[in-house]
Structure 1
Amino acid sequence: MSAPAAILPPKHNNNLTDRSSLLLFKSKMISLDPHGVLAAWNDTLPFCRWQGVVCGRRHPDRVVLLNLTSLDLVGTIPPHLANLTFLRRIFLSSNHFHGRIPQELSRLSRLQILDHSNNSLSGMIMSELSHCLGLQTIKLSYNMLGGYIPSEFSSLPSLYRLDLSNNGITGQIPESLANTSSLKSLGLSYNLLSGGIPVSLGKLSKLTFLNLGGNNLEGSIPPSLWNLSSLGGLGLAHNQLKGSLPQDLGQGLPHLKHLATNSNKLHGSIPMSLSNSLQLSLIQLQNNNFNGRIPPNLGSLQHLRILLLYGNQLEAREPLDWSFLTSLNNCTILEVLQIDQNNLRGLLPKSIANISVTLQILTMATNSIEGSIPPEFGNIVCLTTINLGFNHFSGRIPASIGLLKNLHTLELYFNNFSGEIPSTIGNLSQLNELYIEFNSFSGSIPVSLGHCKSLVGLNLAYNSLTGMIPKEVISISSLGIGLIFEENLLTDTIPLEVGSLVNVGILSLSGNKLSGEIPKSLGKCHLLQILHLGRNFFEGSIPTSLSALRGLQELDLSQNNLSGKIPTFLGDFPGLHNLNLSFNNFEGEVPRKGVFVNKSGISVLGNDKLCGGDPILHLPICALSGPKKIHKSPKLAVIISIFSGFLCLFLLFLFVASCRWIRQRSRRKPTENYTVKEQHISISYAELVKATNGFSEENLIGSGNYGSVYRGTLDDHENDAKVIAVKVFNLQQLGALKSFVAECDAYRNIRHRNLIKILTACSSVDFKGNDFKAMVFEFKHNGSLESWLHPEGNDPFGRKTLKLTHRINIAIDVASALEYLHHHGQAPIIHCDLKPSNILLDDDMTALVSDFGLARFINESTTSSTSSFGIKGTFGYIAPEYGMTNKVSTHGDVYSYGILLMELFTGKRPTDGAFKEGQTLRTFVNDGFSEGLINTMDEFLLANEVQASDHSQSINHAKAFECVSLVLRIGLLCTNDLPTERMEIKKVRNELNEIKNKFFGRDNDAENCNKVNSTSI
Structure 2
Amino acid sequence: MMRNLTFLEVGENELSGTLPTSHFNLSSLLILECIGNQLHGELPTNIGFTIPSLKMLNLASNNFTGLIPITLLNHTALGFIAFGYNSFTGRVPYDFRNFHNLNWLDIAHNYLEGDINFIATLVNCSQLDTLQLGPNHISAKLPESVANLSTSLESFLIVDTPISGEIPKGITNLNNLELLSLGGCKLTGSLPQDFGKLSKLVVLHLYSNELKGRIPSSLSNLTLLSELSLKENLLEGSIPPSLGNCQSLLYLNLSYNELNGTLGNELFEGPASFIELYLHHNHLEGSLPSTMSKQGRLEILKLSNNKFSGVIPDGLRYCSNLQNLFMDGNSFHGNIPSSLSSLAGLQQVDFSQNNLSGPIPAFFSKFPNLYYLNLSYNNFEGRVPTSSLFANESAVFVAGNSRLCGGIKQLQLPKCNENKSRKKINLIIICSLVGLVATAIGGVGIYLSCTKNKKTPLLRGSMIGNVTMKVSYDMLLKATAGFSSENLIGTGSFGSVFKGILDGKTVAVKVLNLQRHGASKSFIAECNTLRNVRHRNLLGIITACSSIDFQRNDFRALVYEFMPHGSLDKWLSGVDGNMSLAQRVDVAIDVAQALSYLHHECETPIVHCDLKPSNILLDNDMVAHVGDFGLARILTQPRHPNQSSTIGIRGTIGYAAPEYGLGSEPSTSGDVYSYGILLLELITGKSPTASMFNDGYNLHEHAEAALPDQVLQIVDPSLEEDNLTEEAEDPRVVQDELQRRVECVTAVISVGVSCSNHLPQERMKIVDTISRLQSARDNLLNARNRRNLPARGARG
Q: Scaled by the length of structure 1, what TM-score is found? A: 0.48
Matched, 1:439 2:250: no
Question: Root-mean-square deviation (CA), in Å?
Answer: 4.9
- CA deviation after TM superposition for structure 1 residue 352, in Å: 1.5
Match for 1:283: what amino acid?
Answer: I
Contact kept? 1:763, 1:774, Cα under 8 Å: no
2:320 corresponds to: 526
User: CA–CA distance in 2 between the matches of 1:261 and 1:492?
Assistant: 53
2:477 corresponds to: none
Contact kept? 2:96, 2:122, Cα under 8 Å: yes
- CA deviation after TM superposition for structure 1 residue 588, in Å: 1.6
User: CA–CA distance in 1 between the matches of 2:344 and 2:688?
Assistant: 39
Identify which of 282, 288, 309 aligns with 2:86. 288
User: CA–CA distance in 2 between the matches of 1:401 and 1:257?
Assistant: 35
| C-alpha spacing 1:445/1:223, structure 2 compared with 1 (3 Å) | same
Write out per-residue CA displacement over residues 76-110 of structure 1, whole angstroms, 9 at most, x where no aligned residue.
Answer: xxxxxxxxxxxxxxxxxxxxxxxxxxxxxxxxxxx
1:165 corresponds to: none
Identify which of 53, 59, 74 aligns with 1:255. 53
Write out per-residue CA displacement over residues 857-902 of structure 1, whole angstroms, 9 at most, x where no aligned residue.
Answer: xxxxxxxxxxxxxxxxxxx9999xxxxxxxxx999999xx999987
User: CA–CA distance in 1 between the matches of 2:187 and 2:158?
Assistant: 11
Identify which of 122, 145, 168 aligns with 1:328. 122
Matched, 1:773 2:442: yes
- CA deviation after TM superposition for structure 1 residue 517, in Å: 0.6
Matched, 1:198 2:20: yes
Matched, 1:455 2:124: no
Matches within 5 A, 1:291-330: 291-316=89-114, 321-330=115-124
- CA deviation after TM superposition for structure 1 residue 446, in Å: 1.3
| C-alpha spacing 1:257/1:400, structure 2 compared with 1 (3 Å) | same
- CA deviation after TM superposition for structure 1 residue 575, in Å: 0.9
User: CA–CA distance in 2 between the matches of 1:909 and 1:582?
Assistant: 51
RCO higher in structure (CA 8 A, sep ≥6): 2
1:840 corresponds to: 589
User: CA–CA distance in 2 between the matches of 1:281 and 1:820?
Assistant: 60
Match for 1:187: what amino acid?
Answer: E
2:396 corresponds to: 602
- CA deviation after TM superposition for structure 1 residue 491, in Å: 0.7
| C-alpha spacing 1:914/1:400, structure 2 compared with 1 (3 Å) | closer
1:108 corresponds to: none
1:583 corresponds to: 377
Structure showing greater radius of gyration is 1
| C-alpha spacing 1:429/1:891, structure 2 compared with 1 (3 Å) | farther
2:538 corresponds to: 808
Identify which of 213, 219, 222 aligns with 2:44. 222
Q: What is the DSSP-based 3-state SS (H/G/I as helix, E as strand, rest coil) of the residue aligned with 2:444?
A: strand
Matched, 1:367 2:367: no
Q: What is the DSSP-based 3-state SS (H/G/I as helix, E as strand, rest coil) of the residue aligned with 1:511?
A: coil
| C-alpha spacing 1:901/1:299, structure 2 compared with 1 (3 Å) | farther
Fraction of identical pairs, as percent? 32
Q: How many residues align?
A: 545
Matches within 5 A, 1:462-501: 462-475=256-269, 478-501=272-295
User: CA–CA distance in 1 between the matches of 2:262 and 2:667?
Assistant: 59
User: CA–CA distance in 2 between the matches of 1:389 and 1:532?
Assistant: 24
| C-alpha spacing 1:298/1:901, structure 2 compared with 1 (3 Å) | farther
User: CA–CA distance in 2 between the matches of 1:326 and 1:902?
Assistant: 50
1:182 corresponds to: 4
1:21 corresponds to: none
Q: What is the DSSP-based 3-state SS (H/G/I as helix, E as strand, rest coil) of the residue aligned with 1:417?
A: coil
2:29 corresponds to: 207
2:71 corresponds to: 273
Write out per-residue CA displacement over residues 626-676 of structure 1, whole angstroms, 9 at most, x where no aligned residue.
Answer: xxxxxxxxxxxxxxxxxxxxxx9xxxxxxxxxxxxxxxxxxxxxxxxxxxx
Structure 1's unaligned 5+ residue stretches are 1-178, 228-251, 626-647, 649-678, 683-743, 749-759, 766-771, 829-833, 849-875, 880-888, 925-935, 939-973, 981-1010
Q: What is the DSSP-based 3-state SS (H/G/I as helix, E as strand, rest coil) of the residue aligned with 1:311?
A: coil
| C-alpha spacing 1:841/1:807, structure 2 compared with 1 (3 Å) | closer
Write out per-residue CA displacement over residues 808-845 of structure 1, whole angstroms, 9 at most, x where no aligned residue.
Answer: 259999995555446679999xxxxx9x99953499x6
Contact kept? 2:283, 2:307, Cα under 8 Å: yes
1:792 corresponds to: 452
User: CA–CA distance in 2 between the matches of 1:309 and 1:609?
Assistant: 59
| C-alpha spacing 1:878/1:460, structure 2 compared with 1 (3 Å) | farther
- CA deviation after TM superposition for structure 1 residue 335, in Å: 0.7
User: CA–CA distance in 2 between the matches of 1:199 and 1:914?
Assistant: 30
User: CA–CA distance in 2 between the matches of 1:847 and 1:906?
Assistant: 13
Contact kept? 1:502, 1:527, Cα under 8 Å: yes
User: CA–CA distance in 2 between the matches of 1:825 and 1:819?
Assistant: 6
1:161 corresponds to: none
Q: Scaled by the length of structure 2, what TM-score is found? A: 0.60
Q: What is the DSSP-based 3-state SS (H/G/I as helix, E as strand, rest coil) of the residue aligned with 1:840?
A: helix
Write out per-residue CA displacement over residues 307-337 of structure 1, whole angstroms, 9 at most, x where no aligned residue.
Answer: 1111111112xxxx22421111111111111
1:613 corresponds to: 407
User: CA–CA distance in 1 between the matches of 2:626 and 2:168?
Assistant: 41
Q: What is the DSSP-based 3-state SS (H/G/I as helix, E as strand, rest coil) of the residue aligned with 2:292?
A: helix
| C-alpha spacing 1:456/1:583, structure 2 compared with 1 (3 Å) | same
- CA deviation after TM superposition for structure 1 residue 467, in Å: 0.7
| C-alpha spacing 1:204/1:827, structure 2 compared with 1 (3 Å) | farther
Contact kept? 2:132, 2:158, Cα under 8 Å: yes
- CA deviation after TM superposition for structure 1 residue 347, in Å: 1.6
Q: What is the DSSP-based 3-state SS (H/G/I as helix, E as strand, rest coil) of the residue aligned with 1:214?
A: coil
1:339 corresponds to: 133
Structure 2's unaligned 5+ residue stretches are 422-428, 464-531, 542-562, 597-606, 618-623, 652-665, 669-686, 695-789
Q: What is the DSSP-based 3-state SS (H/G/I as helix, E as strand, rest coil) of the residue aligned with 1:515?
A: strand
| C-alpha spacing 1:838/1:590, structure 2 compared with 1 (3 Å) | closer
- CA deviation after TM superposition for structure 1 residue 341, in Å: 1.9
Identify which of 353, 356, 364 aligns with 1:559. 353
1:855 corresponds to: none
| C-alpha spacing 1:890/1:549, structure 2 compared with 1 (3 Å) | farther
- CA deviation after TM superposition for structure 1 residue 554, in Å: 0.9
Q: What is the DSSP-based 3-state SS (H/G/I as helix, E as strand, rest coil) of the residue aligned with 1:569?
A: helix
- CA deviation after TM superposition for structure 1 residue 614, in Å: 3.3
- CA deviation after TM superposition for structure 1 residue 805, in Å: 3.6
